[in-house]
């Protein structure tokens, strides 16, 4: 991932909108004072890509920490490339709601928020945890990694960089948890085995024997049950035939009871068949009678309607005569209406002119009022503009004075930085002096110990000489003859004394070197104090300098305030001048409008004088309108009523004639129907006389429909057939029942069957219980075998995890992993170290000790012998190596190294320029150095300067 452009709005200290263009950067420095927001630029990239920031973790109120104080929204936009393919992502928070958008090339992709982390991981090739480890490397840790103060420190730093500690802790917890699960499972298996104690082969054999005996008994019961079922079937057939005979006799009895009724039905059918020949005449007579009744009803209705129409005709004639005179006067109404309409129109026109005159007078009054107001406003604006120009002049003079103070502040800034630096180092001055005194005391003690050990060596040599002398020899000291040897004393081992003496001398040398370094630091501090006194010579005392410096700093805020006021005043003056111009244009417009209104009013008054309507009341117009409306309504009412009544009268007369014609037609129809009924009645007289009837209606009641007669015939035939069939069935059933004589009663057979079934059921239940018990024993045996196998496997695993748990507590695996990763990192770092040094240096690993191979001299040497610049290249190559290993060679095309130069003195930093050039030529990625050191920033052609002013910071990119 290589950043191209970063846009910030209200992100942490970067209040407002800011943009950082990385497109032209390759090897650069991000420089600014502590707290200015240098690392916040890296935080913004992490937030844009992953929605998280390393230093805030997964806090739920993350946005509250990231949004600039005093603002309610935030936006971060990052354009970047991966393997030359461009992408962009934007995250924004507005009114508490987060929004995110992602571009691939120039195309906006429709990606849901929960899908974005996986997409970013696929594009970058790394997840969030890996990215945060490889994008920003703590250079100080690589310095300590290269030159650790104690043996374990290198491993601790490596584990922290690679996340091994967390991994090991998770693995250890996983092992402990797995071991606990195995132990719990073993306890569960032991409990299950106790519960399966019933499952034995002996118990299974006993149950199988009982099952065999029960199966034999059940077979015998099945045979007996089969025989009883056959006997029960025979008895059931007999009972069924007996029931059929009883039912047959019952039905036959019911039919014989209806015999007299059926005989009467047969006689009635003979009469019905004889009368059926007169049915057409009866139907015809009936139809004629119904038509006659209908015609009589129609005649009655027509006569009533005719009387009603006659009455309506008379009423309409009376009403028409009433309106006839008014109808003849309609012409007079039209003339009056026309005259009133013209007069009303002239009144309306005159009233409209009066209204127009009043409106124009009102507009003229408003125009004159506005002209007066505008003239006052113009006067006030002119005075305000004069005052504003004087105020701006005063502000500009004040700003010139304050800017002079700021130039003075810039001149004092280097002295202030020097003063702060010396003050910080003064705190360590006393500690250095105390440490020097302590070293001198330690040296004194060590020298006494050395003197004592040297005395011991002399005594050892004396004793050695004494051991080779005897009485009569010449003394090697005084030259006299030895008459008596002094007594020997036990002496220490020579090698022991020699080793202790060497250690003391080495310790003395180490303390002397340390003392020399302290004295060098003290000397440097004293030199800085002298330089500071020379710089502060003008003020004599530091407090006076501080007082002037603070005063100048306060003037900086005052300058910003004055500039802000000047900007506001100039903007306000500009607005006032624009407003003055607008007012003058408005005044000119209103004066022209006033002249036009005066001309229009004069023309209207002249017109009214000519028409003679100098005064018109609305009441006059309303009275004329009411009079006109009354005339029109009266005319329209007469016209409508006369026309309507005339039309209604014609309609009634026509309807009256139609009803009279229909009444005559109906009366002729009734006469024809009566004649037809008399002819039909003559044809029915023979039947009426034969059966002694009085009227045709009585004859009609005796005549039945043909379907009814046929149905009664069928009913009589069915009766006769059913009686014959039942008598035949009764005789057949009696014959069949003779074959079942001697068969035992059904209830006795059923009682025996129930007894056998009950016994069969009990034994089946017993057999079921035994089979379930057998199944449970078989499953228990199988389960027991499985549990024993599982128990054996789990006991084996428990032993393995017990060993793993012990190994993890002993840090053996950590040491092993650290050594493997160290070998990989050194191998990868060698690639960069050889490029940065043009093949002059190479790493070598002996155990856990890192050495440097000097290809020029051909010797190996300790990394502690490297100069400041060489150490920087060595630690930088390690940083690149760690970045490659952590990212697994993902396309991390940029790297930021944080605060790696604070431990270098000024002289060493002065020498870094040549090394920076090597890195620029050989680094295969964008490299950004983050530092607060101003002298270091001067060595970079490409810089990102982060400057804090008050509660906000600003970014400036220098290419």
DSSP labels, 617-685: -HHHHHHHHHHHHHHHHHHHHHHHHHHHHHHHHHHHHHHHHHHHHHHHHHHHHHHHHHHHHHHHHHHHH
**Count of Cβ atoms closer than 10 Å to residue 628 Cβ:** 17
Tokens of 953: 């910071």
- Looking at the predicted structure, is the pLDDT value of residue 622 above 70? yes
> pLDDT of 355-397, one tens digit each?
777 888 888 888 888 888 888 888 898 888 988 888 898 888 8
Q: Which of 6, 36, 13 is nearest to 937 (CA)?
A: 36
What DSSP assignment string belongs to 856-921?
TTTEEEEGGG--HHHHHHHHHHHHHHHHHHHHTT----EEEEES--TTS-HHHHHTHHHHHHHHHH
pLDDT at 77: 96
Q: Which of 67, 55, 59 is nearest to 96 (CA)?
A: 67
Mean predicted confidence (pLDDT) in 763-771: 88
Angstrom distance (rounded) from CA 549 to CA 558: 14
pLDDT at 797: 85
pLDDT at 954: 92
Tokens of 258: 């209806």
- Looking at the predicted structure, is the pLDDT value of residue 4 above 80? yes
- 509 Cβ contact list (under 8 Å, min separation 6): none
> pLDDT of 416-473, one tens digit each?
777 777 777 766 777 777 778 888 888 888 888 887 877 776 676 666 566 655 666 5
Angstrom distance (rounded) from CA 100 to CA 49: 10
Q: Comparing 786 with 604, which gets the higher pLDDT?
A: 786
CA distances for 86 relative to 48, 89, 103, 124, 784, angstroms: 15, 11, 9, 12, 64
Intra-chain end-to-end CA distance of the chain, in Å: 21
CA distances for 656 relative to 302, 309, 663, angstroms: 10, 6, 11
- Looking at the predicted structure, is the pLDDT value of residue 103 above 90? yes
pTM, to two decimals: 0.38
Angstrom distance (rounded) from CA 734 to CA 727: 11
pLDDT at 538: 67
Q: Comparing 610 with 560, which gets the higher pLDDT?
A: 560
- 206 Cβ contact list (under 8 Å, min separation 6): none
Model confidence band, residue 513 (pLDDT cutoffs 50, 70, 90): confident
Spacing of C-alpha 829 from chain mean position = 44
- Looking at the predicted structure, is the pLDDT value of residue 676 above 60? yes
- Looking at the predicted structure, is the pLDDT value of residue 329 above 50? yes
Q: Report the relative pairing of strands 894-898 and 926-931 from DSSP bridges.
A: parallel
What DSSP assignment string belongs to 596-615?
HHHHHHHHHHHHHHHHT-SS
Residue with tokens 């500039």: 563
Residue 923 has φ and ψ, to the nearest 5°, of: -70, 135
Mean predicted confidence (pLDDT) in 922-933: 80
Q: Which of 262, 572, 230, 243 is nearest to 391 (CA)?
A: 572
Q: Which of 199-213, 371-385, 434-448, 883-897 has the lowest mean pLDDT?
A: 883-897
- Looking at the predicted structure, is the pLDDT value of residue 686 above 80? no
Q: Which helix (H) or strand (E) holds 571?
A: helix 542-611
Q: Which of 136-145, 247-256, 814-823, 933-942 has the lowest mean pLDDT?
A: 136-145
Mean predicted confidence (pLDDT) in 2-10: 94
Model confidence band, residue 477 (pLDDT cutoffs 50, 70, 90): very low
Contact assessment for residue 681 and residue 286, using Cβ atoms and an 8 Å cutoff: no
Model confidence band, residue 811 (pLDDT cutoffs 50, 70, 90): low
Q: Which of 379-393, 596-610, 892-906 has the lowest mean pLDDT?
A: 892-906
Q: Which helix (H) or strand (E) holds 853?
A: strand 849-854
Model confidence band, residue 214 (pLDDT cutoffs 50, 70, 90): confident
Model confidence band, residue 3 (pLDDT cutoffs 50, 70, 90): very high
- Looking at the predicted structure, is the pLDDT value of residue 75 above 90? yes
Mean predicted confidence (pLDDT) in 225-240: 83
- 91 Cβ contact list (under 8 Å, min separation 6): 47, 48, 51, 75, 76, 98, 99, 100
Tokens of 518: 């302290």
Angstrom distance (rounded) from CA 100 to CA 109: 11
b/e map of 632-645 (b: 16 or more CB within 10 Å)? beebeebeebbeeb
Q: Which of 749, 726, 719 is nearest to 244 (CA)?
A: 726
Model confidence band, residue 19 (pLDDT cutoffs 50, 70, 90): very high
Q: What's 212-276 look like in SS3?
A: HHHHHHHHHHHHHHHHHHHHHHHHHHHHHHHHHHHHHHHHHHHHHCCHHHHHHHHHHHHHHHHHH
Model confidence band, residue 79 (pLDDT cutoffs 50, 70, 90): very high
Model confidence band, residue 162 (pLDDT cutoffs 50, 70, 90): low
Model confidence band, residue 787 (pLDDT cutoffs 50, 70, 90): confident
Mean predicted confidence (pLDDT) in 282-287: 74
pLDDT at 659: 85
């Amino acid at each position: 991932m290589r950043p191209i452009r970063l846009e910030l709005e209200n992100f942490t200290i970067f209040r407002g909108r800011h943009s950082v263009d990385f497109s032209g950067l390759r090897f650069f420095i991000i420089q600014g004072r502590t707290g200015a927001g240098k690392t916040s630029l890296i935080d913004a990239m992490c937030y844009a890509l992953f929605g998280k920031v390393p230093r805030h973790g997964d806090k739920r109120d993350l946005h509250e920490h990231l949004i600039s104080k005093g603002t309610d929204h935030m936006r971060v936009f990052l354009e970047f490339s991966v393997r030359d393919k461009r992408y962009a992502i934007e995250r924004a928070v507005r009114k508490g709601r987060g929004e995110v958008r992602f571009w691939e090339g120039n195309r906006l992709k429709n990606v849901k928020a929960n899908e974005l982390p996986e997409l970013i991981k696929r594009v970058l090739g790394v997840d969030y945890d890996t990215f945060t480890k490889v994008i920003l490397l703590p250079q100080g840790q690589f310095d300590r990694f290269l030159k650790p103060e104690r043996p374990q420190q290198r491993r601790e730093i490596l584990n922290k960089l690679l996340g091994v500690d967390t991994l090991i802790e998770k693995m250890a917890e996983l092992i402990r948890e797995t071991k606990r699960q195995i132990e719990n499972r073993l306890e569960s298996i032991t409990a299950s085995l106790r519960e399966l104690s019933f499952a034995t082969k002996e118990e299974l054999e006993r149950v199988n024997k009982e099952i065999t005996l029960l199966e034999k008994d059940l077979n015998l019961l099945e045979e007996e049950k089969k025989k009883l079922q056959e006997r029960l079937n025979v008895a059931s057939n007999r009972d069924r035939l007996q029931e059929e005979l009883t039912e047959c006799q019952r039905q036959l009895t019911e039919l014989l009871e209806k015999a007299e009724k059926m005989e009467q039905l047969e006689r009635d059918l003979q009469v019905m068949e004889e009368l059926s020949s007169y049915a057409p005449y009866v139907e015809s007579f009936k139809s004629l009678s119904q038509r006659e009744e209908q015609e009589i009803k129609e005649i009655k209705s027509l006569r009533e309607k005719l009387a009603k129409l006659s009455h309506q005709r008379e009423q309409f004639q009376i009403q028409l005569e009433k309106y006839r005179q008014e109808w003849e006067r309609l012409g007079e109404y039209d003339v009056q209406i026309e005259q009133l309409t013209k007069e009303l129109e002239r009144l309306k026109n005159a009233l409209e002119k009066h209204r127009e005159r009043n409106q124009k007078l009102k507009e003229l009054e408003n125009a004159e009022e506005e002209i007066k107001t505008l003239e006052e406003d113009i006067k006030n604006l002119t005075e305000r503009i004069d005052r504003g120009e004087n105020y701006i002049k005063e502000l500009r003079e004040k700003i010139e004075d304050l800017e002079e103070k700021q130039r003075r502040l810039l001149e004092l800034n280097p002295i202030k930085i020097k003063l702060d630096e010396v003050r910080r180092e003064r705190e360590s001055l006393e500690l250095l002096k105390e440490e020097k005194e302590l070293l001198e005391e330690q040296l004194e003690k060590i020298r006494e110990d050395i003197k004592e050990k040297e005395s011991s060596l002399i005594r050892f040599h004396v004793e050695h000489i004494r051991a080779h002398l005897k009485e009569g020899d010449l003394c090697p000291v005084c030259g006299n003859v030895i008459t008596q040897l002094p007594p020997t004393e036990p002496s220490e081992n020579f090698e022991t004394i020699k080793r202790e003496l060497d250690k003391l001398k080495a310790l003395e040398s180490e303390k002397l070197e340390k003392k020399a370094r302290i004295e060098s630091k003290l000397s440097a501090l004293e030199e800085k104090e002298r330089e500071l006194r020379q710089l502060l010579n003008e003020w004599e005392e530091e407090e006076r300098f501080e007082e002037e410096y603070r005063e100048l700093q306060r003037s900086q805020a005052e300058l910003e305030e004055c500039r802000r006021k000047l900007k506001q005043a100039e903007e306000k003056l500009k607005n006032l001048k624009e407003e003055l111009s607008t007012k003058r244009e408005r005044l000119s417009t209103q004066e022209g409008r006033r002249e036009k209104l005066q001309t229009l009013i004069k023309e209207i008054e002249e017109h009214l004088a000519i028409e003679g309507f100098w005064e018109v009341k609305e009441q006059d117009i309303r009275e004329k309108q009411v009079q006109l409306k009354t005339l029109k309504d009266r005319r329209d009412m007469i016209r409508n009523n006369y026309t309507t009544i005339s039309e209604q009268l014609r309609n009634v007369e026509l309807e009256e004639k139609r009803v009279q014609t229909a009444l005559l037609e109906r009366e002729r129809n009734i006469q024809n129907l009566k004649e037809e009924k008399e002819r039909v009645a003559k044809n029915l007289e023979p039947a009426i006389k034969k059966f002694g009837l009085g009227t045709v209606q009585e004859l009609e009641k005796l005549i039945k429909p043909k379907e009814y007669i046929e149905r009664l015939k069928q009913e009589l035939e069915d009766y006769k057939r059913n009686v014959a069939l039942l008598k035949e069935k009764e005789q057949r059933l009696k014959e069949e029942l003779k074959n079942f004589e001697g068969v035992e009663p059904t209830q006795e057979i059923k009682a025996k069957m129930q007894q056998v079934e009950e016994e069969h059921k009990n034994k089946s239940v017993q057999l079921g219980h035994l089979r379930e018990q057998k199944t449970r024993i078989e499953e228990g045996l199988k389960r027991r075998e499985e549990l024993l196998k599982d128990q054996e496997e789990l006991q084996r695993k428990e032993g393995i995890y017990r060993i793993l748990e012990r190994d993890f507590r002993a840090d053996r695996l950590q040491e092993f992993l650290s050594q493997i990763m160290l070998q990989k990192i050194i191998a990868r770092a060698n690639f960069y170290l050889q490029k940065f040094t043009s093949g002059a240096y190479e790493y070598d690993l002996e155990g856990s000790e890192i050495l440097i191979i000097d290809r020029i001299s051909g010797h190996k040497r300790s990394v502690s012998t490297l100069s400041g610049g060489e150490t920087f290249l060595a630690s930088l190559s390690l940083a690149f190596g760690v970045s490659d290993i952590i990212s697994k060679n993902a396309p991390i095309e940029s790297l930021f190294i944080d605060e790696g130069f604070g431990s270098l003195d000024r002289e060493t930093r002065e020498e870094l320029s040549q090394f920076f050039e090597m890195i620029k030529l050989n680094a295969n990625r964008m490299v950004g150095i983050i530092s607060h050191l101003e002298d270091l920033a001067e060595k970079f052609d490409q810089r990102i300067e982060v400057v804090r002013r008050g509660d906000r910071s600003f970014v400036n990119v220098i290419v």
